[in-house]
Amino acid sequence: MFIQQLYTGCISEAAYYIESNGIAAVIDPLRDIDEYLQLANERKATIQYIFETHFHADFISGHLDLAAATGATIVYGPNTTCNFPIHIAKDNETFSLGNIAIKVLHTPGHTLESSCYLLIDENGNDYAIFTGDTLFVNDVGRPDLAQKAEVLTMNDLAAMLYDSLQSKIIPLADNIILYPAHGAGSSCGKNIGTETFSTIGEQKQTNYALQPQTKEAFIEAVTDGLPKPPQYFPINAKINKEGYTSLATVLDKSLQPLSVEQVKTLSKNEDIILLDTRNAATFVQGFLPDSIFIGLEGRFAEWAGSLLSFHKKIILITEIGKEKESIVRLTRVGFENIKGYLNGSFEAWKNAGEKIDMLINVEPDELAMDIPFDPNLVIVDVRKETEYADGHIQQAINIPLIDLADPANMANLEDNHNIYVHCAGGYRSVIALSLIKQQGIHNVRNIEGGWKKIIEIKDAFKIEKSKEVLN
């Protein structure tokens, strides 16, 4: 028996490759499937099944492309409806995989079709469980994502999740390995733990959702404090359910080099997003006017899905050699309308004598010196509400980055303000500043190093904490 977790940190997603006696299965594959095909080829194995725990909302699954490449059967749990051929498993149905077996445990709650897959080893013992978004390390899947599509309330789904955990998960033996679909940082849970696997026994001890409690208490605990889901979640769930263009086709269409003149013409005549995926430190030194920065070094796909319109065409400005990676990572959250990339990157634009823009970086101590003497100074903290509540500069206003997708949230920012923006470390603030500048507000500065640097000289500021987070 061979099990490998294939973890993609930038979207906190775990896929799994399982193999026995030359027969393999993949659970919750990403859209870019080369890693699974390569692994099977190296191990001289045949991928026979693709097990999906549910219709994912935070990324586009590779189920269709992987099935087309291998002939594998796509398996979903009960209550699944979709627009492509699948095997709809029954609760407790078992699939042979070489000398081992995979048993389906229907666990509705996160979504109606949500299912876990229990791995039974060569000796007939329960060995591991792949829980998808039903159970995470120290958390459970949020019950508010399927309600619109399924005409169910959040509390209805939370009640189903309670029943699923009580009847299917808690009775499992403590030594069974827990393999979830997501780790820390994913918006599919409230506060997922930092480890990417655990055991059922550890979770019975530490996970709030598995503690002895009434259904009513569980519903309150699991629904309290849920952040607003990213705007792309329902779009991705719909794509996963209805189908998508193959990645190869998208790459063939999108990997098109565009000259400076072509970029200018397209930007003038069409509704175009100029998306710059270079490093933040490089971007601030010079970029195309009105371009939006989302660097590959951060949670790129997640922020792209949260902030960009799916209805507009995209032209990429990338580090040379990163064009394909930028496109692949955009497709992970459903972007397919990519016109191409600026050939020669930013340097080609600059060398052609075109107008450029830039950002000013300032150190936190410079900000501290300016605060007492500048009545027009505005500090914008773009961290999450919970980060802000845990400590912030006293006069800073909190506009979480995710809220800047709506320009209305910048209504109180004016160009006569001296605007200083910061996040935790400097990545989100550069994204925010590119969005603010796109709205015609240019008197802005990036606080270099963000909160991490600010807190190093905290005595230079008035720092306060919020007793509660206000919406």
Rounded to two decimals, what is the model's pTM?
0.93
Give dist(CA 98, CA 182) in Å, integer: 27
Q: What strands lie across the sheet with 292-293, from one edge to the other?
A: 257-258, 338-342, 313-317, 272-276, 292-293
Q: Which of 299, 291, 406, 270 is nearest to 354 (CA)?
A: 291
Whether pLDDT at 148 is above 70:
no
Which of 120-129, 131-140, 405-414 is least confident?
405-414
End-to-end CA distance of the chain: 49
pLDDT of residue 9: 93
Give dist(CA 451, CA 389) in Å, integer: 13
Sign of the alpha-carbon dihedral angle for 332, 336, 340, 346: negative
What is the enclosing helix (H) or strand (E) of 127? strand 126-132
Whether pLDDT at 225 is above 90:
no
Print burial letters for 156-180: b (CB count within 10 Å at least 16), e (below 16): bbbbbbbebbeebbeebeeebebbb
Token reading at 416 = 């006569």
Give the architecture-level CATH label for domain 2-236. Answer: 4-Layer Sandwich (3.60)
Could you give the residue ranges of the DSSP H alpha helices within 170-259? 200-206, 215-223, 233-242, 247-254
- CATH number (3.65.10.10, 2.40.30.10, 3.40.50.970, 3.40.250.10) of 245-351 reads 3.40.250.10
Mean pLDDT to the nearest integer, 19-30: 98
Q: Residue 19 gets which letter from DSSP?
A: E
Whether pLDDT at 87 is above 50:
yes
Instruction: Residue count of the chain, please give it.
Output: 471
Q: How confident is the model at residue 48 (pLDDT cuts 50, 70, 90)?
A: very high
Let me know: does 376 contact 445? Beta carbons within 8 Å. no
Mean pLDDT to the nearest integer, 244-263: 97
Same fold, 2-236 and 245-351: no
pLDDT of residue 296: 98
Give the architecture-level CATH label for domain 360-464. Answer: 3-Layer(aba) Sandwich (3.40)
101: CB partners within 8 A, 6+ apart: 94, 95, 119, 120
pLDDT of residue 446: 98
The residues spanned by each domain of the chain are 2-236, 245-351, 360-464
Whether pLDDT at 149 is above 80:
no
Which of 308-317, 348-357, 406-415, 439-448 is least confident?
406-415
Q: Is 368 exposed, middle or buried (0-12, 13-18, 19+ CB in 10 A)?
A: middle
Rounded (10°) CA dihedral 75, 79, 83, 89: 20
Give dist(CA 189, CA 59) in Å, integer: 14
Q: How confident is the model at residue 228 (pLDDT cuts 50, 70, 90)?
A: confident
Whether pLDDT at 194 is above 90:
yes
Mean pLDDT to the nearest integer, 388-405: 95
154-164 and 215-223 helices, crossing angle to 10°:
120
Let me know: does 301 contact 226? Beta carbons within 8 Å. no
pLDDT of residue 467: 60
Q: What is the pLDDT of residues 162-187, one digit of tens each?
A: 999 999 999 999 999 999 999 999 99
Token reading at 328 = 């692949």
Give dist(CA 146, CA 143) in Å, integer: 7
Question: How many C-alpha atoms does 461 have within 13 Å on its Cβ side?
Answer: 22
